[in-house]
Amino acid sequence: MAEVNLDAISEYTDSSRFDSIDANTFASTDKETSSNNKADGHKTKLFTYPVARKNDSETDYFMMEIAEYQAPGLNLPAFEVEGSGAVLKGEELKKDSVITNVVGQGKDGSFALKRGANNQAFTDPMEEKKKKIKAIICLPMPRNITDSQGVQYGESSLNPIEAAGLAAGSELLQGNINSLKNAFSASLSAGNQAIQDESTQKTIAAALSGTAIGALGGNVNANQLISRASGQILNPNLELLFQGVGIRNFPFQFQFFPRNPHEGKTVMNIIRKLKTEMAPRRTAKDSNSSNGVFIRTPSVFQLTYMKGSSKHPFLNSFLPAVLSDMKVNYSASGAHSTFYDGTPTHIRMDLQFKELNPIYAEDYDNVGGVGY
């Protein structure tokens, strides 16, 4: 079998992560190959199933690149110091330093945190990437190729009494105690002549008392008292508001039908590699740290639907992800069946991946097909 060569994996460009992948790349199963820099001793393994796969421009398959997790880091505050014009980190400050401004360490002094998905080996130039990719796994396309997007919305209400309290709170923050009464009255009466009559005003006063009682633990609220007194409730001004974004999950199922014990060994090595890379490590990342004090984050995965030597032109793309769940059924046919050496003849593998970050509109600028 041909030795795997990382040079066969194309260099990334700004517009596309794939230029071409030599078809001979996928002729082998679980070979180790060194990167071009022989001195660095780096080994990258390539696993493919089935072993004798057809390689041409029409073949669709699923590729997983595996790399060590890189922490995005904290965007801790930095400080502008009087006289020097320098921006210093906390540990760089001197006792007599006069701080004139607090800024972030991000772009243009931003306090925004870096995205973990943008800080992984998969975005490095090819020469650097070849030193960091630990393994590449190529499998047939999974069953049920789907993607899903979701954002969170929630109902929100703000009745006139709450609006009045908001206005009053704003006046308190500004130190304008004398305008509290005016702010409260304006918030309650603006555009609503119904509260000008004396009975309704008394009802609202009772409702405010009920709110105070409720805050002290009583089982009563403003709307309950108003409804009892007048048969109406405060207008909740209900609105559907955006509340956030979610992390995408991707379940995949793969079926293995080894044709002989040799191909079964390849399947075994793929399963073992996935289990190893999703497990944390007790060994310290820093050689100066003691083993066992910390555990290291498991590896991250770049998932890609491929067509021949290029990224699939239609199907969705992925952000770097973690393998969060893995299930393997070694008797997927419903009965225990093996070759003479004990290798199962039918194996089902279910994988669950979670991306490191949510998807934002700007992410679609650099991907083709259906995007993410």
Average pLDDT value for the chain: 75
- Residues 281 and 341 placed together within one structural domain of the fold: yes
Residue 147: how many other CB atoms lie within 10 Å: 14
Name which residue leads in pLDDT, 361 or 82: 361
Residue 313, C-beta contacts closer than 8 angstroms, at least 6 positions apart: 307, 368, 369
- Residues 32 and 146 placed together within one structural domain of the fold: yes
pLDDT at residue 329 is higher than 60? yes
pLDDT tens digits for range 141-167: 998 899 999 999 999 998 877 777 776
* DSSP 8-state symbol, 19: S
- Residues 282 and 348 placed together within one structural domain of the fold: yes
Q: Specify the pLDDT at position 33.
A: 46
Range of the structural domain that residue 188 is part of? 158-237
Residue 44, C-beta contacts closer than 8 angstroms, at least 6 positions apart: 4, 6, 32, 33, 34, 35, 130, 133, 134, 135, 136
| 23 found inside a domain | yes
Answer with the one of 237, 266, 284 that is the final residue of a domain: 237
Cα separation, 137 vs 272, whole angstroms: 12
Count the domains in the chain: 3
For strand 87-89 and strand 60-67, is the pairing parallel, antiparallel, or unpaired?
Answer: unpaired
Residue 108, C-beta contacts closer than 8 angstroms, at least 6 positions apart: none
- Residues 57 and 137 placed together within one structural domain of the fold: yes
- Residues 101 and 203 placed together within one structural domain of the fold: no
pLDDT tens digits for range 47-77: 999 987 666 668 899 999 999 998 887 766 6
- Residues 41 and 97 placed together within one structural domain of the fold: no
- Residues 261 and 327 placed together within one structural domain of the fold: yes
pLDDT tens digits for range 203-233: 666 566 655 555 545 566 777 777 777 788 8
